[in-house]
Amino acid sequence: MEAVLTELEAALGHTFTRRELLVRALTHRSLANEFAPESADGHDKGAEDNERLEFLGDAVLGLVVADELFKAHPEWHEGELTRVRAQLVSREHMAEVAEAIGLGKYLRLSRGEERNGLRHRKTVLSNTMEAVIAAVFLDGGLETVTAFARRNIMGEAVEQLAVELRSGAALGNYKSALQERLQAERAGTPVYRVKNESGPDHRKRFLVEVRLKTDSGEAGKPLARGIGTTKKYAEQDAARRALERMKSVPIADVRAGEEPRERPAP
Catalytic positions, please?
58, 130
Kindly write down the DSSP assignment for every residue of 123-153, as one continuous string.
HHHHHHHHHHHHHHHHHH-HHHHHHHIIIII
Determine if residue 13 is left, alpha or beta; phi over 0 gives left, psi from -120 to 50 gives alpha, anything else beta. Answer: left
- Which residues, other chains included, contact 87 with Cβ-Cβ below 8 Å and sequence gap of 6+? 93, 157, 161, 171
Residue 236 to residues 27, 219, 224, 239: CA-CA distances in angstroms? 43, 18, 11, 5
**How many residues are listed for the chain in this entry?**
266
Strand ordering across the sheet containing 219-228: 189-198, 205-213, 219-228
